[in-house]
Amino acid sequence: MIGSRVWDTDNTMMEERAPHLQKRILFIVAVLFALTTVVMYNLVRWQLIAPQSGDLAGTEWVPAARGSIFDSTGHLLATDIPEYDVKFSPNVVTDDIERQAIAEQIASILRIPRARALQMVRGDGPDDHYEPITNPGEGVSQDIKQALATIDGVGFDMYYERVYPEGSLAAQTLGFTMNTDKALDNGYTIRTHTGKYGIEAAYDKLLEGFPGYHSRFSYLPEIVADPTQSAEPIPGADVYLTINRTAQKIVEDELAQAIERYGAESGRVLVLNPRTGEIVALADYPTFDLNAYANITDYALYNNDAVSAIYEPGSVFKAFTMASALDVHAVGPASTVNDTGVIRIGNRDIYNADRQSHGVVDMTTVLAKSLNVGTAVIAEQMGQETFYRYVDAFGFGKKTGVDLPGEVTGDFPAPGTPYWFKEAHAFVSFGQGIAATPLQVVTAFGAIANHGMMMKPHVVAKVVQHHPERVIEMPAQVLNRPISADTADILTQMLVNAIEQSNSEAQIDGYKVAGKTGTSQMVSQQAIHNPNREIKYSQNETIHSFAGFFPADDPQLVILVILDKPTFGEWGSHTAAPTFSRIGAQLARIFDIPPDSTLLAQR
């Protein structure tokens, strides 16, 4: 049967081919398994092993921009700009005529000698992969980089340069950065900035960004088209200050003019919002250009003396003594004292600065005439323990906690301290023998302006982070309430009356001013209190100051002016007080502070 023969024949052929097919299938399966194993091994090696093993063909680190610093209105005060170190690959161009033409172009764009450019373009031989054309950190701008980018063989290493658009504005508050080489993983380093002094140092970790990278693995071309791993750089956070650029410029200009006008050696001005503790302006003179900080030979200029230097506040401190006495009802505004021009406390005689006796005077007159004798009597009436308790409550002898580096505590000779002597409180009552920072004084004066509530001073309003997006607000914080609201209000009116009674040059047209002058002798030896309990002062070197706020009925700003060693004008009332007035009048305009007549009409 033909059909059955065919079937039998086919069946026989299938039986004969079966072993060959099985071998082919097994071979294909084995090959596929081997390929799969290789692929999986390399993928696992790429994803898990490579990052730890460092088996790289190369890594290019990408620097991150440092965060910018802005004033309270968003005006730029510090920022990073990209710059580029220029290099050339000599092995890219071998023709000498072409090299000469390239050297001509490079020399023309960079304005360097042609011979120098040609030497770099020719290099040291075929193995010379690149020659630096610019010195590290002395790179070129974006515009010059674009002009050079069209030339064969030219390459670039990008980095960021820190710049300060306003030059010396708020120099000691901002601080500056220094270029440093930061160590990264696998032994790599990258050029970055480290904050030195001021905000740059205090907020260094937040301002600092995180570098990105592009890594290429040597074995990955076997399996993938683009064997790289990368991460984009993350810029640092931006910092917004409480400092107002316009106010800062006014304060700095007026301070510089006062230094010249009164022949002073140095000085500083602080402007504080008493309700929030925000520092609106902070000026220190002499100052320096932040873009040229390396040119400064006197490194003390870098310090912010408002927080890191101490001085004796002198008669400005009488406001705090009066506040304390009023608060414990040791005196009232109408209380009187018989001022004989001198008072003996313990074994020491205390004189008025004018060496005059003024007879029976009330408490406002004690402030208006700045009577040492009257103030010492008040301190005696309170007693040492009570008096020093209020000195402490006003924040003296401890840090304010301001967000600036280098703050010092100052000190005062309280009972139980090595510097105490039994008459010390009488001297401290009129600001002698106590070491304070300007920031402590303006912060304490802010408590009087803010109805007895003392706010923590700060210079940063908010921090804006970018990855992830987050805004960190810096809220107002209460430090303490050294005196009651009633005491603060009573003292404010007394200070206003004292200013008017003395016809003070601190007055501002249209506004009632509450304030106090100070003229303190400079200590002539470093140890204020020597073992013999003597305090030695210079006979001809003084510090003039004025602390005050306005409008007295609705305080908006507290201003402290300090002038060191003025040679024209005997008292702070003749130098610091008119400087306060000039500054206050201008700040009233830029902040649109309503005059007293407007406030009265609104009531």
pLDDT of residue 134: 84
d(CA 316, CA 318) in angstroms, rounded, equals: 5
Confidence of residue 239 (pLDDT cuts 50, 70, 90): very high
User: How is residue 47 annotated by DSSP?
Assistant: I
Considering the domain delimited by 60-219+228-241, tell me its CATH architecture: Alpha-Beta Complex (3.90)
Stretch among 187-191, 199-203, 375-379, 549-553 having the lowest mean pLDDT:
187-191
- Token pair, residue 307, equals 């927080």
Instruction: Give the pair of three-digit tokens for residue 400.
Output: 């304010």
DSSP structure string for 372-433: HHHHHHHHHHH-HHHHHHHHHHTTTTS----SSTT----B---TTSTT--TTHHHHHTTT-S
The mean per-residue pLDDT over the stretch 82-93 comes to: 86
Q: Is the pLDDT of residue 229 over 80?
A: no
| Phi, psi for residue 31 in degrees, rounded to 5 | -65, -45
Identity of the amino acid at 385: E
Residue-wise pLDDT for 266-324, tens only, equals: 999 999 999 999 999 999 999 999 999 999 999 999 999 999 999 999 999 999 999 99
- Helices marked H in 59-208: 96-110, 114-122, 142-148, 171-174, 198-202, 204-207
Structure tokens that stand for 500 in this block: 């008017």
Cis ω before 227 (30° cut-off from 0): no
What was the pLDDT predicted at 122? 82
Which one-letter DSSP state was computed for residue 528? S
3-state secondary structure at position 459? coil
More confident residue, 317 or 40: 317
HSE (CB half, 13 Å, CA atoms) of 105? 18
Cα 111 from chain centroid (whole Å): 38
pLDDT at residue number 127: 56
What confidence category does residue 326 fall into, taking pLDDT thresholds of 50, 70 and 90? very high
Beta strands in 63-175 (DSSP E): 69-70, 76-88, 131-132, 154-163
6 or 126: which leads in pLDDT: 126
CA distance 564 to 91: 64
| Measured distance CA(330)–CA(326) in Å, rounded | 6
pLDDT tens, residue by residue, 537-558: 777 899 999 999 999 999 999 9
**Position 513 pLDDT exceeds 90:** yes
- pLDDT one-digit tens code per residue, 434-493: 999 999 999 999 999 999 999 999 999 999 998 889 999 999 999 999 999 999 999 999
The mean pLDDT value for 62-69 works out to 93
CA 327/CA 3 separation, integer angstroms? 128
User: Residue 224 — very low, low, confident or very high, per pLDDT cuts 50/70/90?
Assistant: very low
Would you give the distance in Å from CA 253 to the centre of its chain? 20
| pLDDT for the residue 29 | 47
Q: Sort 574 into a burial class: Cβ within 10 Å, 0-12 / 13-18 / 19+.
A: middle
Q: Is 181:137 a contact under the CB 8 Å cutoff?
A: no
Per the model's pLDDT, the better-predicted residue between 207 and 529 turns out to be 207
Alpha carbons 56 and 59: distance in angstroms, whole number: 7
- The bridge status of strand 460-466 relative to strand 348-351 is unpaired
- What's the pLDDT tens digit per position in 247-264? 999 999 999 999 999 999
- Per domain, the residue ranges of the chain are 13-53, 60-219+228-241, 254-458+470-602
Judge whether residue 512 has pLDDT over 60.
Answer: yes
Q: Tokens 């003296």 sit at which residue? A: 396
Could you give the CA distance from residue 147 to residue 216 in angstroms, rounded to a whole number? 29
Q: What architecture (CATH level 2) is domain 254-458+470-602?
A: 3-Layer(aba) Sandwich (3.40)
Q: What is the pLDDT of residue 506?
A: 97
